[in-house]
Amino acid sequence: MDKKRVRDYMTSDVDTVPVTGNAREVIHAIKVTSHDGFPVVDGNIVVGYIAARDLLFVHPDTPVREIMSHHLIVAEPEMAIGDVARVIIRSGIQKLPVVNEKNQLLGIISNTDVVRSQIEHVSPEKVYKLMDTLERLHEIKPHLAKGPVQVQTLLPTQSRIYMDELEGRIYEIKKGLAEPVIVIKKPTRMILVDGHHRAVAARKLGIKILEAYIIEIVENIELGLERTAKAMNLKTIDDISIMDYARHPLIAGTHRFGGMGTIVPDQHQDPSHRVS
């Protein structure tokens, strides 16, 4: 299934304020719309953002260009919703203008839009692909179930996770929006295949049970995932390292400075990491 994209959830009809305006006009716009902030535009080009807090102790005649934020964080229409969620959580910003490569305003996406995207049904397509792979590799007939699993009993198969995504998963679990993890149930153990950030988040929140897609295997054969876990000396969820010093490699740099619309890329991105 294709990833959910910003373009699918953004609001296209955006209230803006002109860069030529003043604080009085912004205050009026806040009263009329009940919004707490607006993209600042020069024509259709986003050049800044102004929030209600920027108006504190400001004279009503002060030009918008003098009090707006020039340091923008924006989204692009093809960004994955999950990446935007982590940017919102990391930055504390409630709304992100959506722009094209020319910094032209296309829409706006809010934390409410992100939450809405997560409430929708989760396709188990990934689960069926895994079952098909297991069947072909080991000539077995795995069975699929869905139900609760004990977090402390899961054997992890990923040695590290990223703080950015962990914060997002903690937020989702608190809001009841977390997707099920994927586990393989063998006669002797439960192997965590997908959902390491969610499992660690649950541990940090003191949650002992997670919903899961459970792929049951009656044959007691050694899987490659088990050998991977053994090679990395992984035995419990507590053995997973949290990378607190680095941004998640899937989060593209979205900072734009001034009105030039220059994307600042993350020079340390490593697309080879598998994450869950």
Tens-digit pLDDT profile for residues 112-163: 777 666 544 445 778 888 899 899 888 899 999 999 999 999 999 999 998 8
**Domain segments of the chain: what residues?**
6-118, 122-243
Residue 69, amino acid: S
Contact between 208 and 176 (Cβ < 8 Å): no
| Tens digit of each residue's pLDDT (9 = 90 or more) over 152-200 | 999 999 999 988 788 888 988 888 878 899 999 999 999 999 999 999 9
Mean pLDDT over 93-99 rounds to 89
Size of the chain in residues: 276
* Sequence-separated (6 or more) residues with CB below 8 Å from residue 145: 213, 214, 216
Mean pLDDT over 30-49 rounds to 93
Q: What is the pLDDT, as a whole number, of residue 115?
A: 64
pLDDT at 276 over 50: no
pLDDT at 252 over 50: no
Band of residue 250 on the pLDDT scale cut at 50, 70, 90: very low
What SS3 class is residue 196?
A: helix
| Tens digit of each residue's pLDDT (9 = 90 or more) over 41-94 | 999 999 999 999 999 999 999 999 999 998 888 999 999 888 888 787 777 777
Band of residue 248 on the pLDDT scale cut at 50, 70, 90: very low
Q: What is the pLDDT, as a whole number, of residue 72?
A: 84
Contact between 39 and 256 (Cβ < 8 Å): no
Question: b vs e for 111-143, b when ≥16 Cβ sit within 10 Å of the residue's Cβ?
Answer: bebbeebbeeeeebeebeebbeebeeeeeeebe
Q: Within 10 Å of residue 7's Cβ, how many Cβ atoms? A: 17
pTM score of the predicted model: 0.53
Q: What is the pLDDT, as a whole number, of residue 116?
A: 63
Q: Which fold has domain 122-243?
A: 3.90.1530
Q: What is the pLDDT, as a whole number, of residue 118?
A: 58
- The CATH classification of domain 6-118, taken from the options 3.40.50.2020, 3.30.420.40, 1.10.3720.10, 3.10.580.10: 3.10.580.10
